[in-house]
Amino acid sequence: MSTPARNQFQTRITVPARQISLADRELSIPTRGITRTSTRSIYMPSRDTSPQRFAPSLITKRTTNVNQSAFPYALPMPPALPHAMTMLLPAPVAPTSVDVLKVEQKQLVLLLPAHNEELIIAETIRSAVAAGQPKADIYVVNDNSSDKTEEIAISLLGANNVLTVERSGKALAVKKAIDKFELESRYVWLHIADADSIFSQDYFRHYRSKLDPKKYAVAVGFVQSLRGNWISTYRALTYTYSQQVTRRVQSHLGMISVFPGPITCFRTDIIKDLEFGGASLTEDFDITLQVHRKKLGKILFIPKAVNFTQDPQSLTDFCKQNMRWQRGFFQGVKKYKIGLHGQRIDISLGYQMLQMLLFLFLLFVWIPYVIAVTGNWLIIPVTIAADIVLNGFIALFASAVAKRWTLIGALPYFYFLRWVEIGIYLIAFVDVIVLKKFQDEVIGWSTAGRRYQLSKQALLDVAK
């Protein structure tokens, strides 16, 4: 190359401060016409001193714009950096994977909503630990209790695992605790149980062995009455038969009609789709219908996971509790238009209501009509005898399954309490469906008259 040509060749390197890296800087050469783009490779080694540090994935390319007119051939590119000098270059920072930053979720957390539970909450927490739930994964939300519920919970779990909120109602209190403790992000499954729940042996071990987030969105266990007075015996009889027979059928057909408060577990990723502040006297039934209507996933029944609950100790409290349940039932029927959709839950609940109507129709319409036409009054004692035999078989079955032979003793007052429940059912239907009362009831729980200290007899079946 001639000397004049070399004198015409000027080089300008422009590197804006703190904006362009070594691999991105621009080399521009002013000339008189021709523009040529060429590339060269720059090694960007990692801190690894092994021979593999110069892997192809770590090689970047830069573009150099060259204008030349004084000579018709390409400019020679500078040689690559010597091997020793590459050690002085900073190692490239690998992109951070989102999966690496994601906190690993624990499998199961237990949340206990509580309102004036000082008589039993200590036993509830102790039985949960004995049944296989780590104490660190048990939380209590205290719904403005006026007794020592908060103090007892903190003494057993620590202040970090107890939240006290203003009077909110069970469902809204649960939602506040979920948000406060960040349970959705920290756990795969959320188990909600009443603070009067006493867990059976291996309760949570049975749960963990069955939970599969790829198959199910909700799981329910088996609720049973604690040993107690005549009302508890009646409840134990009806609970045993209804769950061992009816719920197994519902589970098989995918139409479980209610997620009972003491035994229900939710996959945490569906919580965002549930409304916890809805106006309902029975929050568990309302959430059940939400899961079905929104098609959030399958429901698993775990009959070996038995949770014992306290029942009212007087007929007055028994009637109050049933009235709340039945009014809440018809609230849900009306709100979610049960029977007007083609889902399985419509079939399940529709069958329950039809069954009650058929029973009343046979008793008050069909049998009187047959007697009037035939004049045969023997139909009445025959019908009564057949019903007694049927219920006797049910009591015998329930006693054998529950291993509590005292359930047979509920037969003498079984009919009385059943007719009390039928009467409450009809009153609730009139109140909610006909008279349109109780449309906006939100705070749907009260523990007055339903909590009592447990005796050794009551604790025979629970985890120790």
d(CA 226, CA 244): 17
Q: Give per-residue pLDDT as tens, 350-376.
A: 999 999 999 999 989 999 999 999 999
Domain assignment present for 96: no
Q: What are the tokens at 187?
A: 């756990």
Q: Does residue 65 sit in the same domain as residue 137?
A: no
Could you tell me if 316 and 193 lie in one domain?
Answer: yes
Is 85 part of a structural domain of the chain? Answer: no
Q: How many CA atoms lie within 13 A of 209 on its CB side?
A: 11
Secondary structure, 3-state, 321-369: HHHHHHHHHHHHHHHCCCCCCCCHHHHHHHHHHHHHHHHHHHHHHHHHH
Overall average pLDDT of the 150-165 stretch: 96
Residue-wise pLDDT tens digits, 213-227: 999 999 999 999 988
Does 90 reside within a domain?
Answer: no
pLDDT digits 0-9 by tens, 168-179? 888 889 999 999
Question: Is residue 447 a part of any domain in this protein?
Answer: no
Do 145 and 210 share a domain, yes or no?
Answer: yes
Q: Are residues 242 and 141 in the same domain?
A: yes
Residues 135 and 67 in one domain: no
pLDDT (0 to 100) of residue 12: 47
State the pTM of this model. Answer: 0.74
Whether residue 320 lies inside any domain: the answer is yes
The mean per-residue pLDDT over the stretch 398-426 comes to 92
Instruction: Say whether both 267 and 406 belong to one domain.
Output: yes
Tokens, residue 193: 């149980």
List pLDDT tens digits, range 363-409: 899 999 999 999 999 999 999 999 999 999 999 999 999 888 889 98
Does residue 160 carry a pLDDT above 90? yes
Within a domain: residue 80? Answer: no
- Residue 142's contacts (CB-CB under 8 Å, 6 or more residues apart) are 114, 115, 149, 150, 153, 162, 163, 164, 165
Does the pLDDT value for residue 31 go beyond 50? Answer: no
Domain count, the chain: 2
Same domain, 37 and 111: no
Residue 354's CATH number: 3.90.550.10
The pair of structure tokens assigned to 415 is: 């009919």
Does residue 218 share a domain with residue 340? yes
Are 127 and 53 members of one domain?
no
Place of tokens 């605790």: 177
Instruction: Specify the pairing of strand 34-43 against strand 59-68.
Output: antiparallel
For 304, the domain range is 104-434
- 52 pLDDT band, cuts 50/70/90, is very low
Closest CA to 60 of 32, 86, 99, 98: 86
The pLDDT assigned to 5 comes to 43
| Residue 445 belongs to some domain of the structure | no
Task: Kindly state whether residues 162 and 236 are assigned to the same domain.
Answer: yes
> With bands split at pLDDT 50, 70 and 90, how would you rate the model's confidence at 281?
confident
Same domain for 207 and 247, yes or no, is yes
Answer for the pair 257, 348: CB distance below 8 angstroms, yes or no.
yes
> How many angstroms separate the CA atoms of 449 and 438, rounded?
22
Q: Let me know if residue 441 belongs to a domain.
A: no
Output b/e per residue, 279-292; b: 16+ Cβ within 10 A: bbbbbbbbbbbbbb
Q: Which residue has the higher pLDDT, 8 or 150?
A: 150
**Do 28 and 156 sit in the same domain of this protein?**
no
